[in-house]
Amino acid sequence: MRITVRLFARLRDIAGAAELRRDVGPESTIGTVWRQLVHEFPDFASYERSISSAVNADYARMDQAVNDGDEVAFLPPVSGG
Amino acid sequence: MRITVRLFARLRDIAGAAELRRDVGPESTIGTVWRQLVHEFPDFASYERSISSAVNADYARMDQAVNDGDEVAFLPPVSGG
Amino acid sequence: MSVPLLAIGSAPLALEPLIAAVSGPTEAAGPAPGSYGAVAAFLGLVRNHNLGRAVHYLEYEAYEPLALRAFEHIAAETAERWPGVRLALHHRVGRIVVGQASVAIAAASAHRADAFSACRYAIERVKQIAPIWKREFFEGGDVWIEGATADPGDQQARAAAERVACA
Amino acid sequence: MSVPLLAIGSAPLALEPLIAAVSGPTEAAGPAPGSYGAVAAFLGLVRNHNLGRAVHYLEYEAYEPLALRAFEHIAAETAERWPGVRLALHHRVGRIVVGQASVAIAAASAHRADAFSACRYAIERVKQIAPIWKREFFEGGDVWIEGATADPGDQQARAAAERVACA
């Protein structure tokens, strides 16, 4: 199945893109998608313990399943305010 | 000597005037002036423990001496804000 | 358009001019423009109810020269306790109807903790020591509201204000 | 002129519209006009220095739909913790120069304690969970600022925000 990945701030800089389309296997979770991206962009690895995520613009945990067509976002530590 | 007394809020209502001229004896303190006013306006007595005072638009304690021409103000409990 | 940091008068209050006054460019002796990262502000509004009474309006009166001294006193206390904070404090007098502001305060600081604390401290101290009185005109009558005995030297009151300011 | 209570966008921020939004007449379901006695407000400004660096400007980016959800989440938490408080929260994105505001918050309440606490709580929570990032452009370079791991379910973070809010 095919998903959209949204990347922000330094993750976007590392990947060189704000949005990616990626194919993922059945029964994938957000964590699966993340590990696939770490493989593709080794510099993502330093965010292993500080990343958070969202699916379809709602907060989600890394063990949440993803579905075809989902928008999966990875959020480096935030600095609003 | 002659002083000006400034009264505010309910003290002003009780006395029926915002400003009074009064003669006081030599070596009078603010407390002397106050007791003279309590004699004149018995309803002032209920403010005995809650009154504060000022001389010439600066905070002052009741034992402070007053001088000829001073403006002595009596402040009932405040309620600004 | 520039407003004084400390003022008392009968004109309606707005917060923007106070915010500009505390966070904008300062006099030569002050910090450089842009050194403040936070402004905390407060507006006290006339409520339509108090102690179960339906309030029509309030009338504030002040001993104005002493009230300005009280504000200076409060600004000095604030500067002593939170160095680097700039405070603006305006109080309105006269008739103030429901929904309108009686007091406006703004505190600018490098960081938000000090801005919040200084702003809160200032309103507590206004209520403790400023020679200002409100008369409440409610459904069926009117009454002078009497709060705190004004004593700027009362260290217990000052400590209570600092506690409430979460300092 | 009426503004939404919660918003994110690139226009300059001002506090007056937020104050009007929280303290003015409410929808049918809300409290009657005039039931608020206090508004506490906050402006976050871009500082000219950070960590010893001379800052030129900041660029904020946000995951906007999730940021709005985060603001709704913060408003709901605030309403749960301080019933009767009405909160407005606007965040700016894009380039923001020194002295301008990146975030504006207003909280109206019957009494000042709740207004101050809710306002302070809201800015703490924005910094903890809103999907917003700032890139600092300083003398000699630029850097993404990375703060807190965004987790709205982290009860320790929430408790820390309540503590700081002096609740």
HEC-encoded secondary structure of chain D: CCCCCEEEECCCCCCHHHHHHHHCCCCCCCCCCCCCCEEEEEEEECCCEECCEEEEEEEEEECHHHHHHHHHHHHHHHHHHCCCCEEEEEEECEEEECCCEEEEEEEEECCHHHHHHHHHHHHHHHHHHCCEEEEEEECCEEEEECCECCCCCCHHHHHHHHHHCCC
Q: Does C145 touch chain B (CB under 8 A)?
A: yes
A49 domain residue, yes or no: yes
Residue A17 included in any domain: yes
Domain residue limits at C12? 6-23+34-165
Instruction: Tell whether C145 is covered by a domain.
Output: yes
* Domain range enclosing A61: 2-75
Of D36, D41, D5, the C-alpha closest to D23 is D36
pLDDT of residue C24: 82
Q: What average pLDDT does the structure give for chain A?
A: 98
In a domain, A27, yes or no: yes
Query: pLDDT over 90 for what percent of chain C?
Result: 91
Is C18 contained in some domain? yes
* Residue A40 lies inside a defined structural domain of this protein: yes
Q: What is the ipTM of this complex?
A: 0.95
Reply yes or no on whether the pLDDT at D1 is more than 90: no
User: Are the beta carbons of C53 and C129 closer than 8 angstroms?
Assistant: no
Q: Given this model, what pLDDT does residue C1 score?
A: 58
Range C141-163 average pLDDT: 97
**Average of pLDDT values for D158-164?**
96
The answer to whether the Cβ–Cβ distance between D144 and A10 falls below 8 Å is yes
Q: Is residue C66 part of a domain?
A: yes
Instruction: Work out the end-to-end distance of chain C between its first and last CA atoms, rounded to an integer number of angstroms.
Output: 33
Low-confidence ranges of chain B (pLDDT < 70): none
Q: Find the CATH number of the domain harbouring D79.
A: 3.90.1170.40
Question: Does residue D108 fall inside a structural domain?
Answer: yes
3 state SS of C126: helix
Asked whether the beta carbons of C125 and C77 are under 8 A apart, the reply is yes
Q: Do C35 and D16 touch (CB under 8 A)?
A: no
8 A C-beta contact, residue D66 and residue A59: yes
* pLDDT tens, residue by residue, A13-32: 999 999 999 999 999 999 99
How large a percentage of chain D has pLDDT more than 90? 91
Q: β-strands D6-9, D86-92: how paired?
A: parallel
pLDDT over threshold 60, residue D29: no
Q: For the domain that residue A39 is a member of, what is the CATH number?
A: 3.10.20.30
Residue D107 tokens read as: 């909280």
Convert the pLDDT of each residue in D88-129 to its tens digit. Answer: 999 999 999 999 999 999 999 999 999 999 999 999 999 999
Ranges in chain A, pLDDT < 50: none
Q: Which residues of B touch C62 (CB under 8 A)?
A: 80
| Average pLDDT value for residue range D28-34 | 65
Residue in D120, D134, D136 to test binding to C, most C beta-carbons within 10 Å:
D120
Please indicate, yes or no, if residue A81 is contained in any of the structural domains: no
List the single best residue of C149, C151, C158, C164 to mutate versus B (max B Cβ within 10 A).
C149
Helix, strand or coil for residue C129? helix
User: What is the number of structural domains in chain A?
Assistant: 1
Number of domains in chain D: 1
Q: Which residues of B touch C (CB under 8 A)?
A: 6, 8-10, 13, 50-52, 54, 57-59, 73, 75-81
pLDDT bin (cut points 50, 70, 90) of residue D2 is confident
pLDDT (tens digit, 9 = 90+) per residue, D126-141? 999 999 999 999 999 9
pLDDT in tens, C33-86: 789 999 999 999 999 999 999 999 999 999 999 999 999 999 999 999 999 999
pLDDT given for residue C166 in this prediction: 83
Judge: D45–C35 Cβ closer than 8 Å, yes or no. no
pLDDT higher than threshold 90 for residue D31 = no
For an interface test with A, the pick among D144, D145, D158 (most A C-beta atoms closer than 10 Å) comes out as D144
The pLDDT tens digits of the residues spanning B46-66 come to: 999 999 999 999 999 999 999
In a domain, D1, yes or no: no
Q: How far is C109 from chain D (nearest CA, A)?
A: 10
DSSP B5-60: EEE-HHHHHHHT-SEEEEE--TT-BHHHHHHHHHHH-GGGGGGTTT-EEEETTEEE
pLDDT at D26 over 80: no
Is the pTM above the cut of 0.90? yes
Give the pLDDT band (50/70/90) at residue C2.
confident
**If residue C70 lies in a helix (H) or strand (E), which one and from where to where?**
helix C64-81
In a domain, D29, yes or no: no
